[in-house]
Structure 1
Amino acid sequence: MDPELSDIGSDEYTDFKGKAADRRKHGGIRAASLACVVEIMQSLIISCNGITLVDYFFKSMHYSVAYSSNMVTNFLGTAFLSSIIWGFISDSYLTRFTIFVFSGGLQLMGLLMLTYQAQNPNLQPPENQKPSTIQALYLYIGLYCTAMGIGGVRSTLAAHGADQLDQTNKSLISSYFSWYFFSVCAGSLLSSGVMVSLEQKYGWSTSFMIMVFVSSLALCTFVSGFSIYRYKRPAGSPVNRIIQVIVTSIRNTMVPTTESLNHDVTEQLLPKETSYNKFKFLNKALIDQNISVAQVKETKTFLGLLSIFLTTIMVNCSVAQILTFSVQQGNLMNRNIHSFTIPTQSLAIIPIIISLTFIIIFEQLKHMNKKKGITSNNKFYQPLFRMGMGLSLVSVSMFVASIMESKRLEAFKNGSTLSVFWLLFQYILLGFSDTLTLGGMLEFFYSEAPESMRSICTSLSWCSSSMGMFVSSVLVTISNSISGRFGMEWFGGKDLNHSRLDLFYALLGVINFFNFSLYFYFAKRY
């Protein structure tokens, strides 16, 4: 990050009393580790909600399957998209600690409401009846309190943990985000491997009670470190500053460049600087005496991050297929090993295990290279390079998935059934891709963001996941509509045996290939 950007909101970190933080007492690895521990619990809750809520809506609240699925999609979409709003508030007005505690309390309140409803027959509809207005209203209030709470947690926890570390030690920051992503995966693994089994054995009420307990424990664990945390003071609204720069530069578009620029800009923004030529039209804003050089650089940096962010959405669109079509594929394949039948949902554990294993190996390699004197400047350790690898792999994975689905359809037409283990190829590739991309995104958006916008920029990682889900739904609808005009809808059959998922996967492969080309273009010029 350009040091000039730290001029905005660069007040020293403070302790919980508002005094200047002491590096010997506040922050450090111990304080940052608390964020990783809390993330395991938070990820367990989020993943558990994503997996089990659809059945709860369908079986207990008696909504249709389609409506239940949409409710879960909307719930997760709201949770991740709201992280941008919470990030803005955190960067502008309140500390990340305050936002986390408030949103964690909101999440806990929502889970308590859902738990009470799951235990109270009066708040559930009778068999074969839809929920009453009061029952539905109670459900939605509890559901969206939980969603908004998740958004606040997502926008602040990762950035708060990174704030505890020495910002000049890039290797330490990189390792922190690797282990933070490890915590995300560990929570998801616990949810898929343990919580689903407990819910199926003991029911919704027990599942919700466990989530209430875990949420309470996460909140208490986080708050327990209040005396050792470093707190970054909010720097005012970065959005207002960015809008001011853009509007001013547009207003000054026709003003000759020979006009006198403020702040001796000819010395501060020399042509040889990369920041000078990036989004060069914004330099016009410096004609206004109220616009600082740091403000213009802040705007340029954020716009540069946005271009990278937009190219990550398709990765999450492809990963979303694991939660939908890949599970349906597995249901139609041979899942038997002797007398044991492999649960289809358990396939989702495979990419999580791959992610956990990769992170451990990645950190060990980095540690070994450091001992040998090889610095972390190696390309492989740079987040932009890792993201590029992930984006290229996702394109390959979609083409592989298309080939596997073609073979499955061919086997079905010949009266045989392929083993579910053929899906391992696409799961492994998508697992690697998600690890490289999302892990790199968390580190990249935090490290490159202006100090005044770190919560907002870190939230872009989660917004990418949310938008990927929505794009996936849109692409299915559009491809189905267009293919229908040529005689056969790709998803017009009663199941995947009578559909053309292979063509849809191939389409995703082509889109991801062009998306990677765009990423390469933007990354090279970043």
Structure 2
Amino acid sequence: MAMEMSSQNQEFIDWKGQKANPKKHGGSIAASFACVVEVLENMVFLSNAINFIAYFISSMNYSPADAANMVTNFMGTSFLLTIFGGFISDSFLTRFWTFIIFCSIELLGLILLTVQAECPKLQPAMHKRPSQSQAAVLFIGLYAMATGVGGVKASLPAHGADQLNHGNQKHISSFFSWFFFSLCTGGLISATVMVWIEDNKGWNWSFKLSLIALSFALCIFISGFPIYRYKLPAGSPLTRIFKVFASTFRNWKASPAMVHNTEETNLDSISDGRPNNKFRFLNKALSDGSVSAVEVEETKTILGLLPIFATTIMMNCCLAQLQTFSVEQGNIMNRKLKHFKIPTQSLSVLPLTFMLVSIPCYEHFVKIFWKKSQGGYTIFQPLKRIGLGLALASGSMAVAAVVEAKRRNAAIYSGATISVFWLAWQYLLLGISDMLTLGGTLEFFYSQAPDRMRSSCTALSWCSTSMGFFFSSLLVTISDKVSGQFGKAWLEAEDLNHNRLDLFYTLLCVLNLLNFLNYIYWAKRY
């Protein structure tokens, strides 16, 4: 369904603005810079997301509930702003400059937060909420970071994939696997080294180390500029889409014969000679000559991607539980391992380790079983990986419901606390689900996107994460109100032992199962 642009638009340039030389520019080495940078960038992002809870409560004197909402909103906004970052990258700047500008914005936000953390005058007095000026400094720094994260995550994977030959789907698929490997490596460092530092050296060290790491990541990325190849922006993709819809509306009464003749006339302008037979009503836009066949095909492709994007939101809603309710569960479970007390945030080490091991194994099997089908894909095609990930999300919530029921019954009826390692199953299943779904969607949206909209479409993967976080909060509110009408709200009590988190997990399991069936419907029709 992907539609390529004309050969002229597909050309890349070097840093001097001349046509890129395949022997000097791009390739695996140039793409590897994006993977190395992602390790440091994701480590900074996740370690601060963990660190912010302690910082907001202990230093800024926010309540635990307010602090949790602030962190959730920060992460949700960061992922949502990838759409803005992708739009800038596709419309006005190269992906190289988009990364540099937004990484610098993230760095400035981190500097502001670091200064505030080290300056007593910028912090509230003990047991008092921040003043308006102190809160302004905090939120400016926080959302400068969120803005920077949005642009970085939208541009970095697309920039890395741009370095490779788009005619070799195997190389593109391999890049996104290793990019996800880098993302997991950054997550593993944040869940181990950074968590240990924050617990033993204090939360203020997290800001300092993050500042150094992000500065180093920016320097590494810039150092590769002589061997990168660059894709020039092609103008606003939203403008082109709106033009297609406006032209379709104007020519809605065009006769079928006129539309057919227009289709035949514009067939040669499509580089692969195969127009998309779905959303044929958009072909009416060609009737008055105000838009090109390429613009119509772009719009069709975007419309085809949206159902796939929508079906991944529910999985990310489950993923949000690992940073909210799962942490609360872990805090009241037995976390002792001989003489060592396990930080709940470090439970993610298990799935991250599994994913780091599984990605090289996956790449090995890809080399063995790589067999191209008629459409150029393999048994490891992204749609199948996404589907398996969505199925595992439903299974993880079923396991989570059973574990929570076991934990709650033990606490209420025998006063016992079961081991925190019981949570490892849901962490493991959701970790694998995230690997398959996020890795699959990054590759799928990049590969299927129109050439001039790759950053925007890649950003859909991160935007799905954002909407999953926000939908999680909405679902908690709705389930509380509905369950409250039939007795007691499931999640209103402060004591987790008096809540029915197991029923909430069961609800998520059912919703994910229905979502999986919905995904199968759309994936088969893609």
Q: TM-score, normalised by structure 2?
A: 0.95
Q: Is the 8 A contact 1:107 1:148 kept in 2?
A: yes
Counterpart residue number, 2:341:
341
Deviation at 1:367, TM superposition (A): 2.6
Counterpart residue number, 2:410:
411
Q: Which moved more, 1:446-455 or 1:6-15?
A: 6-15
Partner secondary structure for residue 491 of structure 2: coil
Q: Is the 8 A contact 2:247 2:290 kept in 1?
A: no
CA distance in 2, matches of 1:234, 1:394: 37
CA distance in 1, matches of 2:195, 2:267: 62
Deviation at 1:110, TM superposition (A): 1.1
CA distance in 2, matches of 1:65, 1:51: 13
- 5 Å matches for 1:315-330? 315-330=315-330
Counterpart residue number, 2:441:
441
Counterpart residue number, 1:67:
66
After superposition, the C-alpha distances for 1:234-259 in whole angstroms (9 at most, x for unaligned) are 11111111111112212322222122
Unaligned runs of 5+ in 1: none
Deviation at 1:145, TM superposition (A): 1.4
Deviation at 1:197, TM superposition (A): 1.4
Deviation at 1:266, TM superposition (A): 8.1
1:160 equivalent to 2:184? Answer no
Counterpart residue number, 1:83:
82
Counterpart residue number, 2:236:
237
CA distance in 2, matches of 1:11, 1:375: 24
Counterpart residue number, 1:34:
33
Counterpart residue number, 1:150:
149
Deviation at 1:379, TM superposition (A): 4.6
Deviation at 1:9, TM superposition (A): 7.2
Q: Is the 8 A contact 1:8 1:452 kept in 2?
A: no
CA distance in 2, matches of 1:40, 1:185: 8
CA distance in 2, matches of 1:169, 1:379: 12
Q: Is the 8 A contact 1:9 1:233 kept in 2?
A: no
**Distance verdict in 2 for CA 1:120–1:83, change over 3 Å:** same
Deviation at 1:375, TM superposition (A): 4.9
Deviation at 1:64, TM superposition (A): 1.6
Counterpart residue number, 1:365:
365
Counterpart residue number, 1:174:
173
Letter in 1 for 2:181: F
CA distance in 2, matches of 1:221, 1:504: 44
Letter in 2 for 1:49: N
Q: Is the 8 A contact 1:110 1:145 kept in 2?
A: yes
Q: Is the 8 A contact 1:276 1:283 kept in 2?
A: no
Partner secondary structure for residue 401 of structure 1: helix
Deviation at 1:353, TM superposition (A): 1.5
Deviation at 1:199, TM superposition (A): 2.2
Q: Is the 8 A contact 2:86 2:455 kept in 1?
A: yes
After superposition, the C-alpha distances for 1:223-244 in whole angstroms (9 at most, x for unaligned) are 0011110000111111111111
1:453 equivalent to 2:453? Answer yes
Q: Is the 8 A contact 2:80 2:463 kept in 1?
A: yes
Deviation at 1:8, TM superposition (A): 8.9
Deviation at 1:274, TM superposition (A): 8.1
Deviation at 1:42, TM superposition (A): 0.3
CA distance in 1, matches of 2:138, 2:506: 39
Q: Is the 8 A contact 2:322 2:427 kept in 1?
A: yes
Q: TM-score, normalised by structure 1?
A: 0.95
1:226 equivalent to 2:225? Answer yes
Q: Is the 8 A contact 1:92 1:236 kept in 2?
A: yes
Q: Is the 8 A contact 1:62 1:130 kept in 2?
A: yes
CA distance in 2, matches of 1:12, 1:266: 22
Counterpart residue number, 1:475:
475
Letter in 1 for 2:89: S
Q: Is the 8 A contact 2:313 2:468 kept in 1?
A: yes
CA distance in 2, matches of 1:409, 1:199: 30
CA distance in 1, matches of 2:208, 2:433: 34
Deviation at 1:349, TM superposition (A): 1.8
Letter in 2 for 1:164: Q
Q: Is the 8 A contact 1:8 1:294 kept in 2?
A: no
CA distance in 1, matches of 2:199, 2:420: 23
After superposition, the C-alpha distances for 1:328-354 in whole angstroms (9 at most, x for unaligned) are 222232333344333222212222122
- 5 Å matches for 1:114-263? 114-259=113-258, 261-262=261-262
**Distance verdict in 2 for CA 1:216–1:13, change over 3 Å:** same
Counterpart residue number, 2:106:
107
1:287 equivalent to 2:287? Answer yes
Over the matched positions of the two proteins, sequence identity in percent amounts to 52
Counterpart residue number, 2:16:
17
Q: Which moved more, 1:255-264 or 1:42-51?
A: 255-264
CA distance in 1, matches of 2:185, 2:209: 17
Partner secondary structure for residue 258 of structure 1: helix
CA distance in 1, matches of 2:267, 2:136: 61
Q: Which moved more, 1:259-268 or 1:237-246?
A: 259-268
Q: Is the 8 A contact 2:48 2:206 kept in 1?
A: no
Q: Is the 8 A contact 2:350 2:428 kept in 1?
A: yes
CA distance in 2, matches of 1:11, 1:274: 18
Unaligned runs of 5+ in 2: none
After superposition, the C-alpha distances for 1:89-112 in whole angstroms (9 at most, x for unaligned) are 110111111111111111111111
Partner secondary structure for residue 99 of structure 2: helix
Deviation at 1:198, TM superposition (A): 1.3
Q: Is the 8 A contact 1:36 1:183 kept in 2?
A: yes
CA distance in 2, matches of 1:369, 1:185: 25
Partner secondary structure for residue 125 of structure 1: coil
After superposition, the C-alpha distances for 1:490-511 in whole angstroms (9 at most, x for unaligned) are 0133322111111111111111
Q: Which moved more, 1:437-446 or 1:337-346?
A: 337-346
CA distance in 2, matches of 1:274, 1:74: 43
CA distance in 1, matches of 2:28, 2:312: 30
Q: Is the 8 A contact 1:8 1:451 kept in 2?
A: no
Letter in 1 for 2:428: I
Instruction: Write out the 4+ residue segments of structure 1 that deviate beyond 6 Å after TM superposition.
Output: none
CA distance in 2, matches of 1:115, 1:267: 57
Letter in 2 for 1:516: F
Deviation at 1:11, TM superposition (A): 4.6
Partner secondary structure for residue 10 of structure 1: helix
Q: Which moved more, 1:235-244 or 1:33-42?
A: 235-244
Q: Could you say what the CA RMSD is over the residues aligned between the two structures, in angstroms?
A: 2.0
**Distance verdict in 2 for CA 1:93–1:123, change over 3 Å:** same
CA distance in 2, matches of 1:504, 1:472: 11
Partner secondary structure for residue 257 of structure 2: coil
CA distance in 2, matches of 1:269, 1:258: 20
After superposition, the C-alpha distances for 1:103-151 in whole angstroms (9 at most, x for unaligned) are 1111111111111111111111111112122211111221111111111
Deviation at 1:406, TM superposition (A): 1.9
Letter in 2 for 1:316: N
CA distance in 1, matches of 2:512, 2:63: 33
Q: Is the 8 A contact 1:32 1:161 kept in 2?
A: yes
CA distance in 2, matches of 1:443, 1:378: 12
**Distance verdict in 2 for CA 1:337–1:55, change over 3 Å:** closer
Deviation at 1:269, TM superposition (A): 11
CA distance in 2, matches of 1:345, 1:389: 26
Aligned residue pairs total: 520
Partner secondary structure for residue 164 of structure 2: coil
Q: Is the 8 A contact 2:266 2:293 kept in 1?
A: no
1:96 equivalent to 2:87? Answer no
Q: Which moved more, 1:7-16 or 1:19-28?
A: 7-16
Counterpart residue number, 2:462:
462
CA distance in 1, matches of 2:7, 2:123: 52
